[in-house]
Amino acid sequence: MSDIKKVVLAYSGGLDTSVIVRWLQDTYNCEVVTFTADIGQGEEVEPAREKAKALGVKEIYIEDLREEFVRDYVFPMFRANTIYEGEYLLGTSIARPLISRRLIEIANETGADAISHGATGKGNDQVRFELGAYALKPGVKVIAPWREWDLNSREKLLAYCDERNIPVEKKKGKSPYSMDANLLHISYEGINLEDPWAEAEEDMWRWSVSPEAAPDTPTYVELTYKQGDIVAIDGQEMKPHVVLETLNKMAGENGIGRLDIVENRYVGMKSRGCYETPGGTIMLRAHRAIESITLDREVAHLKDSIMPRYAEVIYNGYWWSPEREALQALIDQTQAYVNGTVRLKLYKGNVDVVGRKSDDSLFDEKIATFEEDQGAYDQKDAEGFIKLNALRLRIAAGKGRKL
């Protein structure tokens, strides 16, 4: 342990990471550098500075990474229409690569010997943080206190704080759920949610009204795309993080974005969680709509076929891997002509596509029409097309083969 002189800790200022600061100091007799990232979690991050100072931390990093988070991580993921196991929009997963990258960069800047995080030994985040760290700095030492200490309950953590005079807030009425938030989503786990049969309580949700309580009048919104990314809302150009902030507000007010699932964690267990991803729910629907008129059929189907693999790569923590970069290169290449505007109707939990247009549209009304097409499409051509595609079926049937 004596070879660890300085550690960079992913620090929120909450109970767990405040305990970790002192535990690292006591256990490793080392200097601790704290890193707090503002990725849109909805809480003020600056108070973490004073909390870290009170724990004797001298090097404190607090950074606003909201624009980078959406531009370089969320948007690239949504170009692939990414969902994990058919439902989950990967809100927690996609934040970890950015945090891992900055942990390593700060370790290099400060000459630290190790990095540390507050993820438990049961979850996915330990894997995501550490796979990212090792990919970016192969020899880095990672300290994961939850895999080392015996402080395995809130009561033990609070007792540790009392014994060592660690200042922590003991707020009454604080949410009992284990929560993680960023600009893309907020997640809820624990307490009654550990029973898959128990319905989530209405007062748990923070970013959205219930569909029943949403307005009786629909909200219409137009999203403008350039090469697969949203660049304007209702004609007003916006930076990526402002796009997501705006859509979160619109969707939340209309009861959009709630999800209750049981997912398969990478470490092997099943886990029940609830998620609010208001803006992301709109983004997924709208992106598929603009692709429906701008992407070639086989390209669109190819994207759909690789999406589950791409989602697994992100969910399991392999953002900084050659397979993710290869998949991303293919995905990004398909987005060159994904330009145009999508019109949506938001109403009581639903996102309906009601219009789409693009100068790069492959939709040809002259060919698709049910009216007179003036020779644009010769229907007689379909006979040979069908016979050729039926050839193998006809041969097999002629040989008496049964399906």
Inform me whether the pLDDT recorded for 174 exceeds 80.
no
Helical H runs in 29-166?
A: 47-54, 66-69, 75-78, 96-110, 125-136, 154-164
Active site residue 128: no
pTM of the model: 0.94
Among 90-94, 283-287, 367-371, the least confident range: 367-371
- Which 8-state DSSP code applies to residue 241? H
Inform me whether the pLDDT recorded for 375 exceeds 90.
no
Q: Which H/E stretch holds residue 392?
A: helix 381-398
- Tell me if 117 sits within 8 A of 91, measured CB to CB: no
Active site residue 38: no
Of 38, 113, 125, 229, catalytic? 125
**Residue 153 to residues 122, 149, 172, 194, 325, Cα–Cα distance (Å):** 14, 11, 18, 16, 39
Q: Which CATH architecture has domain 178-295+334-357?
A: Alpha-Beta Complex (3.90)
Inform me whether the pLDDT recorded for 172 exceeds 60.
no
Of 178, 271, 292, 321, catalytic? 178
Grade residue 19 by pLDDT with cuts at 50, 70 and 90.
very high
Check the CA dihedral 307-313-315-319 and report its sign.
Answer: negative
Go through the chain and tell me how many residues it has. 403
Strand partners, 274: 188, 260
Active site residue 178: yes
- Range(s) for CATH 3.40.50.620 in the chain? 6-65+95-164
First to last CA, the chain: 66
As to burial, measured by CB atoms within 10 angstroms (0-12 exposed, 13-18 middle, 19+ buried), residue 2 is exposed
Query: CATH for 6-65+95-164?
Result: 3.40.50.620
| Mean pLDDT to the nearest integer, 140-158 | 92
- Range(s) for CATH 3.90.1260.10 in the chain? 178-295+334-357
DSSP state string for 272-333: EEEEE-HHHHHHHHHHHHHHHHHS-HHHHHHHHHHHHHHHHHHHTT-TTSHHHHHHHHHHHH
Of 96, 258, 272, 285, catalytic? 96
